[in-house]
Chain A
Amino acid sequence: MTGRVAIVGVGATPCRTITPDVSYKEMMFEAAQRAYSDCGLDPRKDVDSFVTCAEDFWEGTSIFDEYVPDQLGAVLKPTCTIASDGIYGVATAYMQIAAGAFEVVAVEAHSKASEVLDKAQIQAFALDPIYNRPIVPHPYLLAGLEMRAFLKATKNTAEQCSAVVEKNRGNALHNPWAARGSHVTRESVDSSEPLFEPLRQLDVAQHADSSVVLVLASGDRARRISDRPIWIRGVGWYTDDGSLETRDWRKATYAAMAAERAFEMAGINDPAASLDFAEIDDAFSYKELQHMEAAGLCAQGESGRLAEEGATTLGGELPVNPSGGSIGMGNLLEANGLMRIAQSAIQLRGEAGANQITSAQRCFALSWRGLPTTSGAAVVLERVE
């Protein structure tokens, strides 16, 4: 079975805690070189359209879309920038191709988090200025509030969240792309510095720098370009009524709906049984559990037990974040979702090295746009023999 749109090229710079040797443009150029070389395309001749994902405040430059074409080979070609997570960029490229507007589209997202000297202030500035900013001292308060609500409603525990950290930091140890691989035990997470309780220091995915570029192509072109295309079977994206007052802090409704739509498009009724692994947002440890339950990868209230018992490890029934996720690879700001897809594609191609899951064929990737948002996007990816 073939499809309408496939990923034919994958490129990224390895995640690093600092990248003082290159500018953001040079980092994007390197990722783009890798992606175009991966699929043997020349961007000046072969790529019809470019989509980049960036938020001005993270970039330190207003109207950032003016700063993307040259380093991607996109000057005077159709280019647009989306102020959102990378999976929204993939969804946009998918639509451009499915609509027949273009045959080959490149998608880029990146993080130069090490050069954002006031990261917390940017998230704090995303809060409602009138009702919330005078009250909320730090954006991590929102993670503390959400973690408490989720754990209480589902009877999962903070100790089970620690198992997520142990797994993801451990998976990252064997992933050469990852910046935050480490032997972190559950106990050391439990005893790490309390932030806004119950959130602890090691529950937080620490930032990293990286640029990710994917090249997507229409069905016919994809088969000509690549002998190992990764097909996009479903996409979905939703934003809740995100006000801090109105949202239901117990659950990730945006993720549930994005996943439901992506699974429906892909014709998947039973996600847990149909998927070989999942790469889902884990910007905080509890978010991995919350997103598993939202996406229906397990029953409500079951995610913590599965993490604790090792069902989501590399050798488990349904490996979650075999790449190490954001906790293990580094939080990449708007590039988190694109890195989840890039890692999924590598895994489906059988190129994941020590982290390879045997004969992985179908997977699910989910992004969250981070604090303080209730926005997320999902895709279902498949390799065809």
Chain B
Amino acid sequence: MDRVDRPQDIKYWYGGIDTAYRYTVGIAGERFFRELRDTGKILASRCHRCNEAYVPPRLYCVKCFSELKDYEEVPDDGWYIHTYSTARNQEGQRLQEPLIWVVAKHRHVVGGLVHRLTRASPVDVTIGMRIRPLPKEKERRIGSILDLEGFVPSQ
């Protein structure tokens, strides 16, 4: 095919999408976020048939497809770092303190939470390290994943 061979002849048209959504947190999500806002606790849903608990809670079991109706508090003890990553720059600026993110898992549940790790230096962080969730003070909690400040080292 004959192609354009003069760069100044190339024409573009610019376009984009400007749209917003409202995402329902759902039946299990409602329980999770109310509990987090009101008590600062992490909630799991439990499948008695498989003896598994899910965080974030789901209305159904991944393994057996049962509908789950029971919720339980996840103890602060038992969280650990499944994996983590750090960034020393943000939007081209070098940070004074590197940022740390973790996939936090818990000994007794399936799943976990992805969040920031604070009050820790990257050199001290390891996979398997024990951590605990740190809720914001109650007045600042609105029923969002940001009601957690993040995780902090257990000790």
A interface with B by C-beta (< 8 Å): 20-22, 26, 29-30, 60, 129-132, 134-137, 141, 144-146, 148-149, 152, 194-199, 241, 243-246, 249-250
Contact = CB atoms under 8 A, between A and B. Distances in A.
Contacts, number: 98
Contact of B3 (A21, A194, A196, A246): A21
Q: Which 5 A-B pairs have the closest CB atoms?
A: A144-B85, A149-B83, A245-B111, A196-B85, A21-B3
Contacts of B115: 135
Contact of A134 (B84, B110, B146): B146
A24 to B, nearest CB: 13
Nearest to B62: A241
Contacts of A246: 54, 62, 110-112
Contact of B83 (A29, A135, A249): A249
26 contacts: A20-B7, A22-B1, A29-B1, A30-B1, A60-B15, A60-B17, A129-B21, A130-B23, A130-B25, A131-B56, A131-B113, A132-B114, A134-B145, A134-B146, A135-B101, A135-B114, A135-B145, A144-B86, A144-B87, A145-B101, A152-B127, A196-B85, A241-B62, A244-B114, A245-B103, A246-B111
B56 A249 contact: no
B155 interface: no
B64 interface: no
Interface string B130-148: 0000000000000011100
A243 B3 CA distance: 45
A29 B89 CA distance: 43
Nearest to A247: B103
A60 B110 CA distance: 37
Contacts of A131: 56, 113-114, 145
B30 to A, nearest CB: 11
